[in-house]
Structure 1
Amino acid sequence: MSAEWQEKLSDPSKIDKAFDRLGYISNDRIATAVFLAQQLTKPILVEGPPGVGKTELAIATSEMLDIPLIRLQCYEGLDEAKALYEWKYGKQLLYTQVLKEKLGDVMQGAKSLPEAMGQLHSFSDVFFSHDFLEPRPLLKALEAENGAVLLIDEIDKSDYEFEAYLLEILSAYQISVPEIGVIKAKIPPIVFLTSNNTREMGDALKRRCLHLYIPFPDEKMERRIVAARVPAAAESLRKQLVAFVHALRAEELKKVPAISETIDWARTLLLLNVSELDVETVRRTINVLLKFQEDVEAVDRQLYKFVKQAKEAV
């Protein structure tokens, strides 16, 4: 870890203040998790409902340390070739064609078939060297000269088999390439794995990680988040819209509004020059918060109540 990293990550309170300057509103638990992850050289498994800032945490850490963010988006069927590395087969083929005329020189002096095969085998090994290796996100993070933040996003969407690929990386910060050997990180990346809890993670993966759960924030913290991201919004409007969103989250909706949607709604209301909530404005803009028509219809039946409660919160 560089001296600059050590200074920026030397205390949870420093991390919290640095996040705040970047517009990422954290808390003691989040800042302490990032501190411990670096001090213990362990990844963080960040769980919680969609839209609470799990991915943003990795982005903010990358900005805070001024190092690259390398992101691997997980999905069902993700395999080693897309996540770790693959061979540059096109380049191998091109070089084979170019060097075909040299094949006679390689075979020269061979007095038997086994001897010729041995010479040919040593020639073919050249094509399975690091020069012909195509790094994917995991290998790129290990090979980053000045370190990196590695974001393995939505790990719960991948297969159990893919978790097995990760175990060596998450424990030793290295990978084994059969044709080359072990490739170890020069500077271990700071690793964040995010999960929306669509499936349970395996015990082996969990043992290798620190655990951090980020829930939806309370109203006070969400107002701070909106203030940081939409500073032009008046305090009274922030209180009303956050109170309204929290009322929606208490309902049995197909998809409750995420923090990012609260921020988008605040920006929407500013664009419309809205200074306080009213039923018609909310009805016109509710599609910014709710993404399913059945949710829109369910909320519309109680819209007067929700708007009244939100305005009373000021």
Structure 2
Amino acid sequence: MAENDRVFTEYHGFRQVATGVSGLDDHLPQGLPRNSFVLVSGEGGTRNSAIQAELVWRTLGRDESAVILSFTEPPVSVVEQFLSLEWNVLPYLEAGQLHIIDCFTYRVNDRKRMFARMDDWNQFLHRITSSATTTVRDPSDTSELQNKLDNCLESLSMSDSGVVVIDSLTEFGTLVQPVQAYDFVKDVRADVCKGRFVPVFAGATFAGDEAVFPHDMAYVMDDLIDLQLNGSVIEDVLVKRIRIRKMNGVLTIPEWVAYEYTGGDGLVSFDPLEELEKSEEMLGTRSESPPDDGRPAADESSKIDAPE
């Protein structure tokens, strides 16, 4: 620094990363700061879980580790979410690169019976995920939850690398008192994001009131990503849209983008009005074409004059 006359901005890249999700990266020209706690909030039906799955999948593709805290689904269902999107995470589970912290199965009274009811495929997935799963005995005990998360990150040597996904802070908020919920988010942000430089993506669903946990923690969150179903773009059609509302420390383009999910490709952004015009043009072209009844069209010489 003593020998140079400018800021070392070219060396800051290790603290920023591309998410791999096109609808986000297109609006983050400088990348995502690695020390970010990101709240991904939206209405039901916006496929929040699919976005979380893609964030994990793109992280694994960079040869980094990922941890999922699942409050709403058992581990087998978490894995099936990836497979339904044509993303084979089984090798990453076997290699220990993907880990699931199970905060759901505590609800099942008879786990042996649950496993016995599974078909062969789900039993196979259960065997694969068992070695890569940490079960939380009581998710309402935030101390146990934080200890399990910290131990998992430590075992994976996650520092300045990887990602943590919390599937639903909304569900977590139903398990604990408000003060405990706020403290948990603040502690995870401090220990994981600021202490390890590992980004955390936490999902949240709107239940009609934006002034409740975790939506009332916008002042704490480093980044805010909004998901919505918009019915005003095209009449009688709900269009999924995504927007980066807030992103600390980097340039952000905060505009709404329409998106849909496709197998293999993940989130695909598009212009709904342009797609509507294309559809209308195709329908118009088809309606102008003569019906094809399988018979050759008659030429003028073959026509018979009608009698006068």
Which structure has the highest strand share of the two? 2
Please tell me the TM-score bracket, short chain as reference.
Answer: 0.3 to 0.5
TM-score (norm 2): 0.40
TM-score (norm 1): 0.39
Flag the structure with more relative contact order, 1 or 2, with Cα contacts below 8 A and sequence separation at least 6.
Answer: 2
Which structure has the highest helix share of the two? 1
